[in-house]
Amino acid sequence: MEYLIHLGILFAIYSILGLSLNLVVGFTGLLSISHAAFYGIGAYTTAIILTKTGLGFFTSLILGIIIVLIISFLIGLVLSKFKGDYYALGSIGFNVIVLSVLLNWQDLTAGPLGIAGVSRPEILGIDFSNKFYFLILILIFLLIFYLISLFITKSPFGKILKAIREDDGAIQIFGYNILYFKLVIFIVSAVMAAIAGSFFASFVTFIEPSSFAVSESIFILVVSILGGLASLRGSILGALFLVLLPEILRLIGFPVDIAGQMRQVIYGIILILLMLYRPQGLIGEYKI
């Protein structure tokens, strides 16, 4: 039962990441491969504050949001001027920069050794060291983010995002500032990723830089694409499948070391097959 709860928590975290990235990639058509960077900033902010200060989890969560708001605003300003492949390359470059900082700023991040001993949240006398309580908490946040994403996508703002995806030149003719819309949705997506990172750090109680490399950004992208571009339910479906995939491999009988390698191979195969035969994902609306 405890292991199922463990999987449920990971599913919720990756569902939040998939939802947030889908707002940028699926609904707006911006191929961002930097989500792990904001995920990592949120995780490291929480880990550093909880291990080096007396402040609590939710204080670290707020500080992480503030830091990511500033960084995503600055990076978003730059990326919003690009289109297509240039946008993707710029986002990858940002992810590489963040990873380099996490690896080399050893006085703050402990470098490749990572940070251990991150504590779980506690609020109103409820100790979320209990995994079941932690699962309830993260599911509440997932529901909140799903409703926020649903509100955004159904609002006039969301309709403009889709119009930008279809033809940003045409929408400019009607007087809309597409830079503003790209920047706002990028910031919203980054903040959601940072919050997921805070929960991840507190849940696993240990983080290190490789967890937030470009490969992790690609994994989150696969979550969004597999479930379906511009589909909120698709993001959740993609997260469920990819979290359960390692368990499926174990049931098949692969040894643990081979299962880990096979998982990466299967992720690559899934991405290739989707590009060839189902570029909009399982229940998606648009093609990538």
Give residue-wise pLDDT tens across range 232-251.
999 999 999 888 887 776 77
Domain that holds residue 119: 2-210
Buried b (16+ CB within 10 A) or exposed e, 5-15: beebbbbbbbb
Q: How confident is the model at residue 255 (pLDDT cuts 50, 70, 90)?
A: low
Query: What distance in Å separates the CA atoms of residue 223 and residue 234, rounded to the nearest whole number?
Result: 9
Could you tell me if residue 241 is inside a domain? Answer: no
Tens digits of residue pLDDT in 34-46: 999 999 999 999 9
The predicted pLDDT at position 47 comes to: 96
Could you tell me if residue 91 is inside a domain? Answer: yes
Query: What distance in Å separates the CA atoms of residue 158 and residue 186, rounded to the nearest whole number?
Result: 13
Could you tell me if residue 263 is inside a domain? Answer: no
Q: Does residue 254 carry a pLDDT above 80?
A: no
Could you tell me if residue 68 is inside a domain? Answer: yes
Q: Give me the number of domains the chain comprises.
A: 1
* Residue 123 β-bridge partners: 126
Could you tell me if residue 232 is inside a domain? Answer: no
Could you tell me if residue 156 is inside a domain? Answer: yes
Nearest to 178 by CA among 83, 75, 72: 83
| Mean pLDDT in residue range 188-198 | 97
Query: What distance in Å separates the CA atoms of residue 71 and residue 69, rounded to the nearest whole number?
Result: 6
What's the token pair of residue 164?
Answer: 């930008």
Could you tell me if residue 16 is inside a domain? Answer: yes
- For residues 164 and 171, the answer to whether their CB atoms sit within 8 Å is yes
